[in-house]
């Protein structure tokens, strides 16, 4: 082997220094329960997205290849940072590692936002429903902080169903912060006249409102509690994000109320997206 060939071979065989492509720095981490956490990171200057969309984020895998998963952006499009809300799965390939993130760490973020939970995928209406279970709250954390939501609708109803009370905390604190936000407060109105209605329910731990939202819709209890008419295609629009069984059940219910599923290219009365699962 001549020197040249040896030099070439040695060079390609050298372990590559792992440089993260599309790296962003973690700026904030908060653990909400032993199974849920949220974090914030820097936002690429070039990243434009519509509130409700998701991106691929992750970490470098042991094999030197990026390990990426779809995550809804939980921050609104005007925020200078990005926020994500995640489950922790102990043997999940990504979240078992992601849950140990600390401020200053780097994550990989592919700046190509996509998704159906966007205002463009719905026809104009009077009232919008955001139906979430578990971490399916994330895209609504973005949409609920987007002024367009309150400009486009007279009433905004967010329902969040979780097994236990602690799992509601991220959403409950967000709703509080929205109600106290100087800019959004103007659009939403003061307490009794507020156009933002929050309807949290739990299924496995005692709380002021118990039951699956699907059952509460079927029985009419949610409409009675909120003092409103049942869902109708002339007035109501809906976005759904939760586990698969929930999404299917809500779809059937919404279709029963006369709503049709829309898409970016074909706006209609409701849209659905699966919540991130590791
Ligand atoms: P339940 O406790 O009755 O299963 P998970 O943690 O499994 O993703 O569930 C999150 C929440 O979604 C739980 O409160 C769960 O209720 C509820 N849920 C699960 N499946 C459905 C469904 N098909 N319709 C409505 N709610 C559901």
Positions of CATH 3.40.50.80 in the chain: 119-272
Tokens 């367009």: give the residue: 148
Distance CA 139, CA 161 (A): 15
> From the CA of 211, how far away is ligand 1's center (Å)?
9
User: Which atom belonging to ligand 1 lies closest to the Cα atom of 162?
Assistant: 14
pLDDT of 257: 98
Residue 202: its H or E element? strand 196-202
pLDDT of 8: 43
Task: CATH number for 22-114: choose from 2.30.40.10, 2.40.30.10, 2.60.40.10, 3.30.559.10.
Answer: 2.40.30.10
CATH class entry, domain 119-272:
alpha beta
Largest CA distance in the chain: 85
pLDDT of 4: 43
Low-confidence ranges of the chain (pLDDT < 50): 1-18
Tokens 């109803």: give the residue: 157
Left, alpha or beta for 249 (phi > 0: left; psi -120 to 50: alpha)? alpha
DSSP-derived pairing of the beta strands 155-162 and 127-133:
parallel
DSSP-derived pairing of the beta strands 236-242 and 127-133:
parallel
pLDDT of 189: 87
pLDDT of 20: 64
> From the CA of 215, how far away is ligand 1's center (Å)?
11
Positions of CATH 2.40.30.10 in the chain: 22-114
For ligand 1, atom 19: residue with the closest CA: 246
pTM for this structure? 0.92
């Amino acid at each position: 082997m001549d020197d040249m060939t040896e030099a070439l071979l040695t060079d390609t065989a050298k372990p590559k220094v792992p440089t993260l492509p599309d790296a962003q720095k973690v700026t904030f981490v908060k653990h909400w329960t032993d199974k849920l956490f949220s974090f914030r990171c820097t936002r690429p200057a070039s990243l434009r997205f519509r509130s409700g969309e998701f991106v691929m984020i992750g970490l470098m895998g042991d094999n030197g290849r990026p390990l990426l998963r779809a995550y809804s952006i939980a921050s609104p499009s005007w925020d200078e940072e990005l926020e994500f809300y995640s489950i922790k799965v102990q043997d999940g390939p990504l979240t078992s590692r992601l849950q140990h993130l600390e401020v200053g760490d780097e994550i990989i973020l592919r700046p190509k936002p996509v998704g159906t939970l966007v205002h463009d995928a719905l026809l104009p209406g009077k009232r919008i429903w955001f139906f979430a279970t578990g971490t399916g709250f994330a895209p609504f954390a973005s949409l609920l902080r987007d002024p367009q939501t309150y400009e486009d609708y007279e009433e905004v109803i967010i329902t969040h169903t979780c097994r236990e009370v602690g799992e509601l905390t991220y959403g409950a604190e967000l709703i509080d912060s929205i109600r106290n936000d100087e800019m959004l407060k103007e659009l939403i109105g003061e307490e009794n006249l507020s156009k933002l209605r929050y309807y949290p329910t739990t299924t496995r731990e005692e709380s002021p409102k118990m039951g699956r939202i699907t059952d509460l819709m079927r029985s009419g209890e949610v409409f009675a509690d909120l003092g409103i008419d049942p869902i109708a295609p002339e007035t109501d629009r809906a976005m759904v994000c939760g586990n698969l069984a929930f999404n299917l059940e809500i779809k059937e219910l919404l279709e029963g109320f006369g709503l049709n599923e829309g898409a970016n290219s074909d706006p209609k009365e409701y849209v659905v997206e699966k919540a991130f699962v590791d």
